[in-house]
Structure 1
Amino acid sequence: MARPGVWPPAPEALPAPVVDNHCHLESPAGDEPRTVEERLGEAASVGVDRVVQIGCELESARWTVDAVARHPQMLGGIALHPNEAPLHAKGEHATGVGYDEAFAEIASLATAERIRIISETGLDYHWTEEPDRPAQIRSFRDHIALAKELGLALGIHDRDAHGDVLDILARDGAPERTVMHCFSGDAAMARLCVDRGYHLSFAGNVTFKNAHELRAALAVTPIERVMVETDSPYLTPHPHRGAPNSPAQVTHTVREVARVKGLPLDEVCRALDVTTVTFYGAW
């Protein structure tokens, strides 16, 4: 049984290397915090030899640019998170930085060599009330334009906002490389995303016992459009749900992908690796 605050044990190693496509290694976690080097080392020991580090507020974006320059197993993504943008727009952000200044800094940081994706941006109607949604939508559209301007991929945060997310992507035109981070839709939405050329990234919640619709979405998604991620330190997969998450734990999600797709584990690992490198480029 998972124990909150206690790091899960290292899982069984995969038969071939894979990438954790979305993690937040700057975020503190665990009763006994682990260094970035410890988490990367554990991940490599079980076959997760590369990660995509995501910084989606100003401080974490700065951290990400520095970290990916120092750690060759990392590539990076930066953005203003959908829940950050309204705070900047209203002048209520803890940093005291307004939206225009904050977005300008993201745009400047995104030119760093090892930043490969504008992520995570999108809409979050779970935490954002109606009056703040226009600011969130503006930010989403600005990030779409930035990704296209810089020739970078785009990573989408979508919580309780499927219709508006898909409408804005269609209206503004999604970048050629777009991924639905921590995909949370059903099979019909998965088919629509695939038809549009998007990739779907599945996190630890696809392993949860009640995630029937999410597994149905995975089942109809071609393996060449599937990515995996931890979103660590959040969304720790079964059987460690509720404990701190780290890149090593993506192995549980990879095994669930193989089970749902009815494919050999080594074949799934190789397919995931090819997809990721094609999407992001070489490390």
Structure 2
Amino acid sequence: MTPAPSGHRGLPEAPDPLPIDVVDNHTHLDITREGDEPLDVAEAIARARAVGVTRLVQVGCDLDGIDFTMDAVDRHPELLGGIALHPNEVPRLAASGELDDAYAEVERLAAHERVRVIGETGLDYYRTGPEGVDVQQDGFRWHIDLAKRLGKALQIHDRDAHEDVLRILAEEGAPDRTVLHCFSGDLTMARECVERGYLLSFAGTVTFKNARGLRDALSATPLENLLVETDAPYLTPSPHRGATNASYLVPLTVRAIAGVLNVDVPTVCRAVSENAERVYGSWDRV
């Protein structure tokens, strides 16, 4: 193990670099796990670049995270941004009477050229109880409409809400570029999403020993529907589960995906890189 920077609970050793550069489809550079100090954004990008993760989608999902994201995408050409009000954030803002103002701020900032994603939005029935379901679903519908009006990609958070997520997407009409971030569904759901033309983004969870159902879902995902992500600082891939996650660990997930799909690593790299640019556009400055 390489020494960890002060304030971090043992950042894992970097894996071998990938043979072809890829994209981390979803990361939170603004979020730290309890007990950690923030990893400097430039350092996080440099660590990722050293192993072939040259482009990142930075996602801000509350007002503070959105402000961070707007600043980060202006400063760092390796980043594109995603902004939205997280499904757990929507009921909280509604209860405090701040939701309408927050929606207006998201809509204003989402027009920025470096913001290519509306998300993460969706449904989360794990942390929000029945009393928050209606406003959470309304918030999901609002974000779907915003993505379509602005011509942005949509990234979806789905926790314990698979049926309602698919139902609302069907009712509202999904944007042309719709991504299931940190896909957590089963084989049947994966097939349904692929049939609808959605992209499935797999995180470090696909490497976990107890994730056979998720690997079955991956096996039904064509390369043209595939993305990879960290959801850092969470969901660190094996063999480092429990450590702090970061974009430089994406190669572990890419190699696990290649094994499940029985294709070589360069094939997976090319697919996730090309898919990301098809969904989000180029990272190059205009």
| TM-score, length basis structure 1 | 0.95
CA distance in 2, matches of 1:113, 1:222: 30
Residue 10 of structure 1 aligns to a residue whose secondary structure is coil
Q: Is the aligned partner of 1:140 residue 2:122?
A: no
Residue 42 of structure 1 aligns to a residue whose secondary structure is helix
Q: Is the 8 A contact 2:31 2:38 kept in 1?
A: no
Q: Is the 8 A contact 2:236 2:245 kept in 1?
A: yes
Could you tell me which residue of structure 2 aligns to residue 11 of structure 1? 15
Could you tell me which residue of structure 2 aligns to residue 53 of structure 1? 58
Q: Is the aligned partner of 1:265 residue 2:269?
A: no
Q: How many residues align?
A: 277
CA distance in 2, matches of 1:19, 1:82: 25
Residue 182 of structure 1 aligns to a residue whose secondary structure is coil
Q: Is the 8 A contact 1:205 1:211 kept in 2?
A: yes
Q: Is the 8 A contact 1:54 1:76 kept in 2?
A: yes
Name which of 11, 27, 31 aligns with 2:31. 27
Q: Cα distance, 1:32 vs. partner? A: 5.2
> Identity of paired residues, percent?
56
Question: Bigger CA drift: 143-152 or 265-274?
Answer: 265-274
The letter for the 2-side match of 1:108 is R
The Cα offsets for residues 124-145 of structure 1, whole Å up to 9 and x where unpaired, read as 0011110111110110000000
Q: Cα distance, 1:28 vs. partner? A: 2.3
The Cα offsets for residues 121-178 of structure 1, whole Å up to 9 and x where unpaired, read as 0000011110111110110000000000000000000000000000000000000000
Structure 2 residue runs without a partner (length 5+): none
Specify whether residues 134 and 32 from structure 1 end up closer, same or farther in structure 2 by C-alpha distance, changes over 3 A only: closer
Could you tell me which residue of structure 2 aligns to residue 78 of structure 1? 83
CA distance in 1, matches of 2:101, 2:59: 20
The letter for the 2-side match of 1:38 is E
Could you tell me which residue of structure 2 aligns to residue 195 of structure 1? 195
Could you tell me which residue of structure 2 aligns to residue 250 of structure 1? 250
Q: Is the 8 A contact 2:183 2:203 kept in 1?
A: yes
CA distance in 2, matches of 1:245, 1:34: 11
Residue 241 of structure 1 aligns to a residue whose secondary structure is coil
Q: Cα distance, 1:33 vs. partner? A: 3.9
Q: Cα distance, 1:5 vs. partner? A: 2.0
Question: Bigger CA drift: 178-187 or 24-33?
Answer: 24-33
| TM-score, length basis structure 2 | 0.95
The letter for the 1-side match of 2:280 is Y
CA distance in 2, matches of 1:32, 1:176: 38
Q: Cα distance, 1:213 vs. partner? A: 0.4
CA distance in 2, matches of 1:98, 1:32: 29
The letter for the 2-side match of 1:160 is D
Map 1:231-250 to 2 at 5 A: 231-250=231-250
The letter for the 1-side match of 2:80 is L
After the TM superposition, list the runs of 4 or more consecutive aligned residues in structure 1 that deviate by more than 3 angstroms.
29-33
Name which of 80, 89, 93 aligns with 1:88. 93
CA distance in 2, matches of 1:161, 1:121: 12
Could you tell me which residue of structure 2 aligns to residue 178 of structure 1? 178
The letter for the 2-side match of 1:82 is P
Residue 191 of structure 1 aligns to a residue whose secondary structure is helix
Residue 34 of structure 1 aligns to a residue whose secondary structure is coil
Q: Is the 8 A contact 1:6 1:31 kept in 2?
A: no
Q: Is the 8 A contact 2:30 2:38 kept in 1?
A: no
Q: Cα distance, 1:27 vs. partner? A: 1.0
Specify whether residues 32 and 131 from structure 1 end up closer, same or farther in structure 2 by C-alpha distance, changes over 3 A only: closer
Q: Is the 8 A contact 1:62 1:109 kept in 2?
A: no
CA distance in 2, matches of 1:174, 1:65: 25
CA distance in 1, matches of 2:180, 2:38: 29
Name which of 62, 65, 68 aligns with 1:63. 68
